[in-house]
Amino acid sequence: MSHELDILALGNAIVDVIARAQDDFLVRQGVAKGSMTLIDEAQAEKLYAAMGPATIVSGGSAANTVVGAASFGARCGFVGRIKNDAVGDVFAHDIVKSGVAFGTAAATDGPATARSFILVTPDGERTMNTYLGACQNLSEADVDPATVARAKVTYLEGYLWDPPAAKAAFRKAAELAHAAGREVALTLSDTFCVDRYRGEFRELIRTGAVDLVFANEHELKSLYETADFDTALDGLRTEAKRAAVTRSEKGAVIIEGSLTMAVPATPIETLVDATGAGDAYAAGFLFGYTAGMGYEKAGRLGALAASHVIQKIGARPAVPLKELAEQVGVL
């Protein structure tokens, strides 16, 4: 990673195992629809055996974002832990072939590469059951100061806030980025994460440890413990430097100080799989943001990317997003 990067992401290196399922299957498996639940290896094997035919694709929230941003033309890097196993080989191959620099050494021992078992119900809602495996061993040693210093934005996923070593890596990356005069972005990732670390996330936002926050409407309401969107948005405005909050078909709201900008969603024909919608939105937004295109253009690019991925299975783009944006006149 000798050249300047637009975005450097730290996140969980996960391979997604995606299958369609009926609501009654979720009930039988004892999983909460629409949520993300952490499971151990034994639970992972049991769930995989019970699932129907599956599509296996590389995933991970922050990894999805930099793959999407690279598809627009951004220069991206990724830091995340895998094991030297078959699943880890799939992840490393896919992210490099997507144009993202990835140099984290694969572990030769310890837990297996992470997998997320994603159940997609007929309404397009996704329920994630995640075995973190090797992800949990991401540490400060994996964060290279020179690489962070070369990135315009270091992007961190909220899922990283669970394992203590990964949390330390998260903090180190943020400190290094600011020391180099760069910016830090945080995605809240899931209401599961917000419920567990609400106070710590708000401290990161309040103290300026992060410069840009990504959240969806549900995560924002959980962060400020209110059912009213406007109340939650006001709370975020008082604490965050800037933020982009997605609201599904209602579009997104971008705030900075007294600025409030609503950007509409891109219309879709059919919702197939909501997996990765927020990741894709962040990809488009960060591409526009780091290129200096302004909030309105960045928001439109985010909306376009999100609309593309939710009309297919899996969280990564099926076509180059730059070409798609040019076709519809967003670029």
Residue-wise pLDDT for 9-48, tens only, equals: 999 999 988 899 999 999 999 888 988 888 998 998 899 9
Q: Phi and psi (nearest 5°) for 44?
A: -65, -45
CB-CB contact of 254 with 281 (8 Å): no
Mean pLDDT for the chain?
Answer: 94
CA distance 117 to 114: 10
pLDDT of residue 163: 82
The enclosing domain of 128 has a CATH number of 3.40.1190.20
Q: Strand 243-246 to strand 5-10: parallel, antiparallel, or no bridges (unpaired)? A: unpaired
Sign of CA dihedral 223, 178, 151, 78: negative
Domain that holds residue 91: 5-327
Domain count, the chain: 1
Q: How confident is the model at residue 1 (pLDDT cuts 50, 70, 90)?
A: very low
Residue-wise pLDDT for 280-289, tens only, equals: 999 999 999 9
Residue 2 has pLDDT above 70, yes or no: no
Give strand ranges (E) for 217-265.
Answer: 243-246, 252-256, 259-263
CA distance 124 to 89: 29
Q: Give whole-number Cα distances, 189 to 62, 75, 320, in Å.
A: 9, 23, 24
Residue 128: count other Cβ atoms within 10 Å of its Cβ: 22
Top pLDDT among 36 and 204 is at 204
Three-class secondary structure of residue 7 per DSSP: strand
pLDDT of residue 124: 84
Residue-wise pLDDT for 166-175, tens only, equals: 899 999 999 9
Half-sphere exposure of residue 185, counting CA atoms within 13 Å on the CB side?
A: 29
